[in-house]
Amino acid sequence: MTRKFDGDRLLVATHNKGKLEEMVHLLEPFGVSVVGAGEMNLPEPEETEDTFVGNARIKAHAAAKATGLPALSDDSGITIDALDGAPGVYTADWAETGEGRDFLMAMTRAHEELESKDAAHPRTAQFRCTLVLAWPDGHDEVFEGVSPGHLVWPIRGKDGFGYDPMFVPDGHDITFAEMDRWEKNKISHRGRAVEMFVKGCFDG
Ligand code: IMP
């Protein structure tokens, strides 16, 4: 039996602005206001696991322990089939410059690795999102969402964040960065994981 969340303010254990904005938007219809880890001055724990769920657990439990409140974390990324699932849990690392993140650099790397392998088209990939809701007593619940699609080059669109400009979800011919928020959130990995979270942890 899934444990219910009965508050009206949810601590989301992320410092990523793009993820946080999508969470606010996704949870608004359920009357839940979202508080980010930045607002609570929470430290960013090191993500030392090699799975999405492992890293999501680290972030959620660290935040729940530090605040005494239930905390939701998001670990996500993109898996590219022709690169054997890379960058996967290292999706954010590919953007790391030492002085912040550069997603154009990360997308260029993905494209160049595909080119150097002469990978066939369509270059299929999946965005993946694992959400963990952790309580201060150590209990947690896990929810996963996947959005399958393919990669395009050159990149297209100005909305969204991260790798959105190179990803076209199945059933569409525009990238996530060319979609408005509603359209992306309806079909995205994060939208799907939040749907499972809401079904599992909210009454009604
Ligand atoms: P982490 O979960 O903090 O390890 O970072 C995941 C990384 O995956 C983010 O920094 C983004 O680059 C990427 N990512 C996750 N979700 C999305 C999305 O919805 N659109 C584009 N990129 C995403």
Give Cα 189 distance to the centre of its chain.
Answer: 7
- Residue 151 pLDDT > 80: yes
For residue 6, name the pLDDT band (cuts at 50, 70, 90).
confident
Task: Tell me the average pLDDT across 105-126.
Answer: 98
For residue 38, name the pLDDT band (cuts at 50, 70, 90).
confident
- Is there an atom of ligand 1 within 6 Å of 132 CB? no
17-to-20, 73, 173, 174 alpha-carbon distances in Å? 5, 13, 26, 23
| 50 noted as active-site residue | no
Dihedral sign (CA 36, 38, 40, 42): positive
Residues in binding site: 14-19, 46, 75-76, 161-164, 184, 189-190
Q: What's the chain's average pLDDT? A: 95
Contacts of residue 92, defined as CB under 8 A and 6 or more positions apart, other chains included, come to: 77, 101
- Is there an atom of ligand 1 within 6 Å of 36 CB? no
**pLDDT single digits (tens) 49-91:** 999 999 999 999 999 999 999 999 999 999 999 999 999 999 9
- Is there an atom of ligand 1 within 6 Å of 190 CB? yes
Residue 74 Cα to ligand 1 midpoint, Å, equals: 9
- Is there an atom of ligand 1 within 6 Å of 88 CB? no
Dihedral sign (CA 105, 39, 65, 128): negative
Torsion of CA 101, 187, 182, 178, to 10 degrees: 60
Residue 100 Cα to ligand 1 midpoint, Å, equals: 14
Domains present along the chain, CATH in parentheses: 9-201 (3.90.950.10)
Contact (CB, 8 A) for 31 and 86: no
Contact (CB, 8 A) for 123 and 150: yes
- Residue 204 pLDDT > 80: no
Would you state the structure tokens that stand for residue 60, as one six-digit string?
């959620």
User: What whole-number percentage of the chain has pLDDT above 90?
Assistant: 88
User: What whole-number percentage of the chain has pLDDT above 70?
Assistant: 100
